Structure 1
């Protein structure tokens, strides 16, 4: 068990796209983020790159882990969640599951004002798309959810926007999202500051459907 007097380090993983992203920070003086375009090689290299990335730190230096929970690629999403859950279980650490849409919204927050809706859109299958609508909270230490992550037909999303009287243009996610691992970690840190301490078993992938 890590003492509360130990230096605060967090570790973030993002595997929901073809790009692996890892980030670590002490949220004061040091932050590092690195990406690898692995595509189908994710399962072969994830643990190797994790071990290399955290050096010279050891696993015992971390106080919590954060992982992007989707939406995104079905297989790579699951691989990242399993790896993060295993680490959190073995190290007895809290595990924060962060929406990949929310992380992308946070990554682009500088382009939006406080309380300004950030509508994030990601392509899904069968002509549908994933979407979530957020805004920076007044404390500037996280996001408030206007519409939680879901998957819909385009016409239903248009109706949702009309019902909410929102005219915001969608912020469309790129094919590579590993670069937002730092945002996954930051959003988890703000929850950590609020005293949240989620058990690893609470984090499951989000696929936009009833699959776990």
Structure 2
């Protein structure tokens, strides 16, 4: 639904409650346009049945009020929407996260791209089936930091995607390695400090990961 700045102005001036006594020159001045443009825009609202000029002034019609409410609801849903989140249960990992997060090839990139040096370990969270089903949409809603793969000695280490997020206000990132031994319902979280110790969590506790 396109937003009409004149419709918005009339609503702000409470033309839905009582007719607004204002000339098109005054409307144009408030909107930063000429009197002719303001008059044309008002005529367009009238032709769409959203506003009407009466002897008492300019008023929003029932249709205009309804459209204003729809615009308000749409904007409210955008700016007051709950952040995307995943919920799960903390579970023990295989200990691999500690090793991988100790490698300088990963640590230096994470520090540069995410703004923190990772604690040597990951928080493993098991998603319930309904939460695991949301995982794909959750990840598609954000632009990940790409941590490139590298070689160290005779070994090569794969690329991973890091999605900035928070847990109880603590800055962290959900990492998705291109090569992993974890099933899809297990996600790994990294942060600058031990999330378990900092948040006072243990295996079996519930956590909520918020995107962004």
Instruction: Specify if TM > 0.5.
Output: no
Bigger Rg over Cα: 2
| TM-score, structure 1 normalization | 0.21
> Which structure is richer in relative contact order (CA contacts within 8 A, separation 6 or more)?
1
